[in-house]
Amino acid sequence: MDISYIREFVMLADCLNFSEAAERLFISQSSLSKHIRSLEREMGTALFDRTTRSIRLSAAGEVYLPYARKIAALCSESEIAMDDLLRRSSTSLTIAVMQNPQYYNLTKYMTGFRLAHPDLSFSMVEADEAGLWDMFQKKAVNIIPAFSGFQAGPDCVFMPIAASDVVAIFRRDHPLAGAGSVTLGQLGGERLLLPTRGGSLSDLILSAFRKERVEPHIVYEGSSLGCVDLVKAGMGVSLHAREFTVALALDPDVAAVPIEPALTFQYGLCHRPPAELTHAEQLYLSHMMQYELK
């Protein structure tokens, strides 16, 4: 007996209209009629009484319907359970990474995991914060990099991995490039090159300017690499996370200067509850826990 025919019988019993039931099942009306007749032959009796104008359950159909509902429901439950089992036992892992992952030591963390679990099929997708959150909501990925406070909730647990702060990036010939530190007040008259608006880092920086009652003169909001290129071209001063400057340490054209008072933040991972993660995702989360800030 074809289980799909039983599901179609239940749908037709609910609709009592071949055209409507076929539309809901995404099959043709002729196919539905054929399947119902095949089911009736197997049952040895008519399940519907049909006239030229209407259709209704036969006495046999009335008896069979509650059992058909149970069969259809159990089949759906078993399919979900098997899909979940296959998903959880999968050896394939897709990790979402933030744009420019090298600037937040994410490359180091992922490389360490890859070396510890070489048998896993490992792939990565890159996006900005908005893109990461969209993928998480759609369940395309279950673990994403994030800053503290990023959309945390029952379905998104934040695990801090590192603490950092924001620094100012100057071209080497800028008068403040050799300073021990700078204030936001000193940067008030500068042309500022900031991370993309709407991200956690951008929000932190703009909030700090408001707190200091300083009106920032923003001339660019975009990619980290774009900010550095514009700094080198003399187009302004950039504000970025300290990790970002590690890759710039040997660049003779720029200098990173701490901001006083410090603009601190944490970054790490947002993940679904462990019970909802695949085996591979749980392995990755366990690996990352060795770096977790306590």
- Answer whether residue 265 shows pLDDT above 70: yes
172 and 256 in contact (C-beta within 8 Å)?
no
- Whether the pLDDT of residue 87 is over 70: the answer is no
Give the pTM: 0.64
Q: Residue 98: pLDDT above 90?
A: no
Read off the tokens for 185: 């007040």
Which tens digit of pLDDT belongs to each residue from 31-70? 999 999 999 999 999 999 998 888 999 999 999 999 999 9
| Torsion angle defined by CA atoms of residues 241, 243, 249 and 255, in that order, rounded to the nearest 10 degrees | 10
269 and 161 Cβ atoms separated by less than 8 Å: yes
3-state secondary structure of 175: coil
Element (H, E) at 206: helix 200-211
Domains of the chain (ranges plus CATH)? 3-86 (1.10.10.10), 162-266 (3.40.190.290)
Q: How far apart are CA 108 and CA 19, in angstroms?
A: 58
What are 100-127's pLDDT values in tens digits?
666 567 777 888 888 888 888 888 888 8
Phi and psi, residue 244, nearest 5°? -60, -30
Q: Which pLDDT tens digit goes with each residue over 136-191?
A: 988 888 889 888 866 666 788 888 988 889 999 999 999 999 999 999 999 998 99
Other Cβ atoms closer than 10 A to 138: 8
Cβ proximity of 128 and 99 under 8 Å? yes
Q: How far is it, in rounded angstroms, from Cα 269 to Cα 254?
A: 30
Note the helical H segments in 212-278: 224-232, 242-246
Distance CA 282, CA 288 (A): 10
Q: Determine contact, residues 185/272, Cβ cutoff 8 Å.
A: no
In b/e form, how buried is each residue of 24-46, taking b as 16+ CB within 10 angstroms?
ebebeeeebbebbeebbeeeeeb
Average pLDDT, the chain: 87
Regarding predicted confidence, which is higher, 139 or 85?
A: 139
Asked whether 248 and 256 are in contact (CB, 8 A), the reply is yes
Collect all residues with Cβ–Cβ distance below 8 Å to 9 and sequence separation of at least 6.
Answer: 36, 39, 47, 61, 64, 65, 68
Note the pLDDT of residue 88.
59
Given a cut of 80, is residue 245 above it in pLDDT? no
Residue 166, beta-bridge partner list: 241
